[in-house]
């Protein structure tokens, strides 16, 4: 039976430097019909807050023969003069977990700028669902 993965949640970013504080909130959602042959893109997001902080989230999913799914990807926090172009990677978390068939699973990720005197951070809260979809004959 074919499977569909749904993901919903939020991304909160704070750009906190000596002269100002900016907070940005984004709703996130994605879905993908998955298959055993190869991973498919589940959610790919790039968001900038305050002009200096960028968060990239890239998630893929693949079906397993028993109906479970493996979700993999990365969440990255960049901070620099321009959040749109900086290559200054300050934190990263790799994502790799099993999502059982017909189950939902929450995931929380916190990314923080590792530099001294920086309070830039991102909090990602997601809920994943692995549901069966009927195949049309």
Lowest mean pLDDT of 51-55, 97-101, 106-110, name the range.
51-55
If one counts every other C-beta atom within 10 angstroms of the C-beta of residue 90, the result is 21
pLDDT higher than threshold 80 for residue 86: no
pLDDT band of residue 100 (cuts 50, 70, 90) is: very high
Torsion over CA: 120, 118, 54, 89 (sign): negative
Structure tokens at 16: 């906190």
Strand partners, 104: 129
* Better pLDDT: 118 or 66: 66
CB 60 within 8 A of CB 74: no
pLDDT at 118: 72
Measured CA to CA, the distance from residue 66 to residue 108 in angstroms comes to: 26
pTM above 0.75, yes or no: yes
CA-to-CA separations, 58 to 112, 116, 135, in angstroms, rounded: 18, 27, 28
pLDDT higher than threshold 70 for residue 54: yes
| Domain boundaries along the sequence of the chain | 2-133
Cα angle 71, 23, 42; round to 5: 15
């Amino acid at each position: 039976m074919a499977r569909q993965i749904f993901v919903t949640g939020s991304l909160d970013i704070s750009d906190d430097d000596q002269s100002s504080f900016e907070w940005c909130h984004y709703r996130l959602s994605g879905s993908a019909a998955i298959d055993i042959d190869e991973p498919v893109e589940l959610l790919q997001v790039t968001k900038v807050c305050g002009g200096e902080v960028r968060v990239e989230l890239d998630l893929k999913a693949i079906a397993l023969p028993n109906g479970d799914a493996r979700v993999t990807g990365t969440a990255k926090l960049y901070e620099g003069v321009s959040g749109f172009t900086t290559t200054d990677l300050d934190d990263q978390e790799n994502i790799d977990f099993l999502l059982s068939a017909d189950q939902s699973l929450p995931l929380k990720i916190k990314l923080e700028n590792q530099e001294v005197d920086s309070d830039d951070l991102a909090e990602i809260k997601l809920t994943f669902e692995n549901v069966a979809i009927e195949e049309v004959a």
